Amino acid sequence: MPHWASMVRLLETFFRHRLLLLGPVVLVLVGAIGWVLVQPPTYQSSVRVWVERQTLVPDPNSNPYLTPAQEQAGVLTELISTKYFDAKVGKRSPLSEAIKAASSHGSGGIRTRLMRLVGLAGPGGQLSDSQVDDQVFNTIVASTLVVPTGPEIITVTFGSSDPQMASLVAQAVVDQFMDETLTNQRVQADAAVAFYTSQVKQAQSDQAVADKAVDDYLLSNPSQRSANAIPDARMLQLRRDDDAAHQRTQSVLDKLDQARLERVALDQTGTAGVRVLDKAETPTQPASVKKVIIEAVGVGLVLAVLIVVVGVLVLTWLDSTIRRPQEVETILDLRPVGSVPRVS
């Protein structure tokens, strides 16, 4: 019964102060709807990319339990989360110049205007290169979506209020990703060539030492020079070591030749394991605002419920009115002796 009485008291508080409680709720919902209406239209442009596992230069971090699309989507997502990659995308597309132009003409965002007010903007109101890169990074991270849409297909989508900017930045993200992938493979191939080159030198040096050991032993033991001579145990061991040295040298030479071929192949087009299937096109219609509406309504409803719950609890806690005879004994620790009925 105490819990039921508490619930009844809360409901009574709500109905007694319903206008006071519902006023902020209406304002929150109106604000959410207004926020949706003032949002500029967002245009989205997508690029579809075909990806394969690296076979020319095997990736040591490749996960056989993931599809190539899942692997490369994860790599691209990590690159997008870096300022290094996004700054290059910004310079590759008109995004950096657009942000500079917006800041110099006073039409930048709130953050740009605040920096200008406190003197953090560059000469003439322009942002510094580092500040432009920061805004490019924030824009690309917030507006780019990378999704594996098949075992070997990735879809990269970029949203912007400018339809042409949406297509140019989306394509720039993919082009930069392809360049980074190819550059990474070339670095691995160059490292392999350098490694096997040093291994060849070491193997040839070991081979020369083994050859000299055989020659020195033959010079000191003329009986072993004859073609019909039976090699002794020492001679057999030296020849085995010499043959093994020749085999190691040949094996390393073969690996060096293969590494050089792979490096040369990486200079050809289409060898990075990534190619564009559908290029970014300039969208003609804005993206659906359904998601924005759902998010705004959801946030508005959560805030409305929170306002009502907190308001009812606070008003109930502040309300010391005694509404029932049994509350006299509970609240005042007194026994009621009578009651006066309400006369309408």
pLDDT tens track of the chain, all 344 residues? Answer: 456 667 766 777 767 777 777 777 788 777 777 766 666 678 899 999 998 876 655 665 566 778 889 989 999 999 999 999 999 999 999 999 988 887 766 555 545 554 444 344 444 456 788 889 999 999 999 999 999 998 999 999 999 888 999 999 999 999 999 999 888 888 888 888 999 999 999 999 999 999 998 888 888 888 777 767 777 888 888 889 999 999 999 999 999 998 888 888 777 766 667 889 999 999 888 766 666 667 667 777 788 788 878 877 777 777 666 666 666 666 666 666 666 666 65
Query: d(Cα 341, Cα 344) in Å, to the nearest integer?
Result: 9
Segment (H or E) for 15: helix 2-16
Domain ranges of the chain: 42-188+272-292, 190-265
**pTM: predicted TM-score of the whole model, two decimal places:** 0.64
Beta carbons of 80 and 146 less than 8 angstroms apart: yes
Tell me what pLDDT residue 263 has: 82
Measured CA to CA in angstroms, residue 188 lies from 59, 62, 127 at distances of 9, 14, 37
Fold of 42-188+272-292: Bacterial polysaccharide co-polymerase-like (3.30.1890)
Beta carbons of 165 and 122 less than 8 angstroms apart: no
Assigned token pair, 16: 């007694």
Tell me what pLDDT residue 289 has: 60
Assigned token pair, 205: 């040096």
